[in-house]
Amino acid sequence: MNKKAAVKMCIDLVMTAALPVLMCYSIVGETAHEVIGVAMFCLFIAHHILNFGWIRSLFKGRYDLHRSVNTAVNALVFLCMIGLMYSDIVISKHVFNFVNIGGAMTARTIHMLCAYWGLVLMSVHLGMHISQMAARMKLKNKALIWSLRIIFGIIGAVGIYAFISLKFPNYIFGKLQFVFIDTNASAVLTTLQYLTVMLLFAYVGYMLQSILKKKRTENHGS
């Protein structure tokens, strides 16, 4: 693995670790939530700078189903991050408390939708790149690869329960305007719940990528 690839992987891992922590807003506290959120946005920008070659190629070449789905997921993640940063600036009480734009009610709704959709889409995006990450790490042992698939599959199944218990459907479809988290609950356990949801959708992304690759191979072979 070269230096650039290693830096990319470190950024991705830090962003992945930060995401479930950010979701525990009521537990980690407002100030920490805002600081971590700004740091994550900076990492997101760094991620895109390091992947500028992909951005530069957006308007080149042919778009088959595989490329179209990948591009759509990336575009939606980008929109969620922009929505989160904008809404964070508007409703900030600490980091950006000197900014007075107005429209706090709308910004809260945007922040809620972008946060929950962002977690889902970022997890799918991560899952769609698991094969590339495994290649960079030179994971070639078939027994290990299958063991990891089974482990992540089991954790993903637990994620289905967490997805329901954390009321994700209500948040992503805008049925609830405020996050209800038991502040007496363990921060570690709550973070782990969000992590299992992330792994659930990462597994969905991995399976989606596998299907798209298979479809592309079949089309090229016919």
Straight-line distance from the first to the last Cα atom of the chain, in angstroms, rounded to the nearest whole number: 35
Alpha helices in the chain (DSSP H): 3-23, 25-28, 30-50, 52-56, 65-91, 104-127, 130-136, 142-165, 168-172, 187-221
Confidence band, pLDDT 50/70/90 cuts, at residue 84: very high
The residues, any chain, with a CB within 8 Å of residue 8's CB and separated by 6 or more, are: 47, 50, 51
Q: How far apart are CA 214 and CA 172, in angstroms?
A: 30
Q: How far apart are CA 56 and CA 209, in angstroms?
A: 22
Q: Which of 38-47, 88-97, 109-118, 172-181 has the lowest mean pLDDT?
A: 172-181
Query: pTM score, two decimals?
Result: 0.87
Within 10 angstroms of residue 175's Cβ, the number of other Cβ atoms is 9
Q: Tell me: the pLDDT tens digits for 182-217?
A: 667 777 888 889 999 999 999 899 889 989 988 887
Helix crossing, 65-91 with 104-127: angle to 10°?
Answer: 150
The residue that leads in pLDDT, 21 or 149, is: 21
pLDDT at 222 over 60: no
Rg, the chain, Cα only: 18
Q: What is the pLDDT of residue 183?
A: 65
> Measured between alpha carbons, how far is residue 89 from residues 93, 107, 111, 146 in Å?
9, 9, 10, 44
The residue that leads in pLDDT, 140 or 221, is: 140
Q: How far apart are CA 87 and CA 78, in angstroms?
A: 14
> Measured between alpha carbons, how far is residue 27 from residues 24, 180, 188 in Å?
5, 11, 10
